[in-house]
Structure 1
Amino acid sequence: MSDAACTNASSASPVADQRWMVPLSLFALYVIWGSTYLGIRYALVSYPPFTLAAIRFAIAGVLLFAVLRFRGEAMPTARQWKNAAIVGTLLLAGGNGLVCFAEQSVGSGIAAVAVASMPLFAAVFSGIYGEWPSRGETAGLLLGFLGVIVLNLGAGLAGSPLGAIALIVAAMSWAFGSVWSKRQDMPKGPMNTAAQMLCASVSLAIIAFLHGERVPAHPEAGATAALAYLVVFGSIIAFSAYLYVLKTVRPALATSYAYVNPPVAVLFGVALAGEHVGGFDLAGMAIILIGVGIITMMRVRKT
């Protein structure tokens, strides 16, 4: 093979990888993260909220970090550890930890709907850095938000005010962490995932201690199984996929999972928890998916 042919092959490989990795990563975000709301609900039967999140990310972080170091991945620099600690605390402690806290009093489906406001906060925070979404992306974002409102009209809002506030703060924390991280020196590849989870587990353990939580002595088997699912699928697989798309595609597409997660959460509730789906639920799901489709088409036009 000539040097030119080698060059063409090597330059085409990342494009081919991205052609497959972006859809697969988005599928993981849409489906797996949509199911984690129900998984959190099951795990909360035995585990306190911040303790649950701390254990989840400690186990996932240690496992992933050990594998990466065994494969010869470089250690993050001191600056990268600092940035990973900040972003991990914003995304996983402020974001996921507060979702766990809210789901003590707010249903998993309603939690997913509230977190769906995250892309709007992300668009505002991106604008602070001069990266406002295009008109088409803005239309998709607003349509998606309308969809989650319609989706929520089919169910009674029985969540506590404290739980509702926690979910909004969680969405804002996740949005700012996502936008800020794109402009920082972060660990490379999967090591970014491991570092953020390790740092977040420390933050969550401190919060759990201050909140007066304790590790359960005899957790139920179902709650522990839900925790294991959250560790493997929700943390290692889906969170790695999120960090990948965050670095690969525009923010509007990277955060579009927040609009798809609510209908996915509802569908899992129907299949596994015996919940019912009404007309508003179906209409909301359709509007949400149309909004995500608009964002996706705008992304394709720009690339």
Structure 2
Amino acid sequence: MTSTPTTGPPVATPIDGPPGWLPLAAVATTLLLWASAFVAIRHLGEDFSAGPLSLGRLLVGAVALAAFALPRGLPRPSARQWRSIVLIGVLWYGVYMVALNEGEQRVDAGTAAMLIQVSPVLIAVLAAVFLSERFTLQLVVGLALAFSGVALIALSSSPDGDRDLLGVGLCVLAAAAYAVSLIVQKPLVATMSALHVTWLACTVGAVACLPFAGSLVSELRDAPASSAWWLVYLGIFPTAIAFTTYGYALQHMTASSLGVTTYLVPPITVVMSLVLLDEVPPALAYPGGVLALVGVWVARRTSRKSRRAELSLRSQPDLG
């Protein structure tokens, strides 16, 4: 007599994916390194002009990234992917860096970091339009709180109302270039590794900045050795490492929620500026920073609810 085998309850198949803390660690690494970049750019403003500083940083970054990317194989992007990579390289690694470097010749590091924070608002709107991400009430509230905190910091940083309009405009231009680039990169990193995308885009940005090569050589000759090492730091850490960790985080988070986390950069930049540049933040900067943190927390809560919707974005076509 044979017995009919019994079947137990179905066993859920585990979903392959990184541990939940890895994307958060990638974001934290990016934010710390990008905050340090604002301080380093401000510090190097006396030795390097905007274009040569951008080219030097990108050349170092491209070489550092190649050392890690090439052993993993040579990527073969499609024609559509190449268009996206070139657009990201020109906008994010070219226009963004030149505009930000020139802007920081006119405004301090903390103010520049605050002005860049208009980008999450642009990212959220663009993500809703092009990536089909939900523009939820919770995200709107988080954006409003965080933007209010950034605005409070910006107002407190200039009590006399003195502003260099060109410097402010250049920082806003950098924010717009960053926002568009992030939206273009979102579907790209769904089919390519973040490391390869970062390396190729950084290389494109370096090529776009080659007209500044002569000035870079001249300014390097006159700059002290410490400034040259700061330039190397910018290329390896805030560029090669931070852009790669940001691309990795972008693979596992919604573009709008990830963009909002950059509201943490201004408070970090203010602290670093105090320590390294002796720039003392005014009293109102502290409640502004707290308000920005609250906004980030509120907006980040939406990402857990968007995990399933995130999988559908893998099939979205590249923009451009």
Q: Secondary structure at the match of 1:119?
A: helix
Name which of 144, 147, 150 aligns with 2:149.
Answer: 147
Distance 1:256 1:174 in 2: 13
Q: Residue in 1 aligned with 2:244?
A: 240
Check conservation: 1:50, 1:205, Cα contact below 8 A.
no
Aligned amino acid, residue 135 of structure 1: L
Unaligned runs of at least 5 residues, structure 2: 1-10, 308-320
Aligned amino acid, residue 99 of structure 1: L
Distance 1:32 1:76 in 2: 29
Q: Secondary structure at the match of 1:164?
A: helix
Indicate how the Cα distance of structure 1 residues 27 and 154 shifts in structure 2: closer, same or farther if over 3 A, else same. Answer: same
Q: TM-score, normalised by structure 1?
A: 0.88
Indicate how the Cα distance of structure 1 residues 213 and 159 shifts in structure 2: closer, same or farther if over 3 A, else same. Answer: farther
Tell me how far 1:110 sits from its aligned partner.
0.7
Q: Quick check: 45-54 or 269-278, which moved more?
A: 269-278
Tell me how far 1:293 sits from its aligned partner.
0.5
Check conservation: 2:127, 2:256, Cα contact below 8 A.
no
Distance 2:86 2:306 in 1: 33
Distance 2:172 2:72 in 1: 40
1:253 aligns with 2:254: no
Q: TM-score, normalised by structure 2?
A: 0.84
Q: Deviations over 1:229-250 (max 9, x none)?
A: 2112101111101111222201
Q: Quick check: 90-99 or 178-187, which moved more?
A: 178-187
Tell me how far 1:76 sits from its aligned partner.
2.9
Name which of 280, 283, 286 aligns with 2:284.
Answer: 280
Aligned amino acid, residue 197 of structure 1: C
Check conservation: 2:133, 2:254, Cα contact below 8 A.
no
Distance 1:55 1:273 in 2: 22
Report how many residues are paired.
Answer: 290
Distance 1:288 1:97 in 2: 27
% same residue = 21
1:131 aligns with 2:143: no
- Counterparts of 1:140-289 in structure 2 under 5 Å? 140-156=142-158, 157-184=161-188, 187-206=192-211, 208=212, 213-215=215-217, 216=219, 217-289=221-293
Distance 1:106 1:277 in 2: 14
Indicate how the Cα distance of structure 1 residues 8 and 40 shifts in structure 2: closer, same or farther if over 3 A, else same. Answer: farther
Indicate how the Cα distance of structure 1 residues 78 and 252 shifts in structure 2: closer, same or farther if over 3 A, else same. Answer: closer
Unaligned runs of at least 5 residues, structure 1: 1-6
Distance 1:106 1:199 in 2: 28
Q: Deviations over 1:94-148 (max 9, x none)?
A: 2222101111111111100100110011122223324342110111011111000
Aligned amino acid, residue 298 of structure 2: I
Q: Which aligned runs of 4 or more in structure 1 are off by greater than 6 angstroms? A: none
Q: Quick check: 273-282 or 46-55, which moved more?
A: 273-282
Distance 1:180 1:124 in 2: 13
CA RMSD in angstroms, aligned pairs only: 2.2
Structure showing greater Rg: 2
Check conservation: 2:84, 2:184, Cα contact below 8 A.
no
Distance 1:47 1:286 in 2: 34
Indicate how the Cα distance of structure 1 residues 199 and 218 shifts in structure 2: closer, same or farther if over 3 A, else same. Answer: same
Indicate how the Cα distance of structure 1 residues 149 and 190 shifts in structure 2: closer, same or farther if over 3 A, else same. Answer: same
Distance 1:119 1:136 in 2: 14
Tell me how far 1:182 sits from its aligned partner.
2.2
Q: Residue in 2 aligned with 1:102?
A: 103
Q: Secondary structure at the match of 2:133?
A: coil
Distance 2:262 2:163 in 1: 19
Q: Secondary structure at the match of 2:46?
A: coil
Distance 2:112 2:282 in 1: 18
Distance 1:58 1:214 in 2: 11
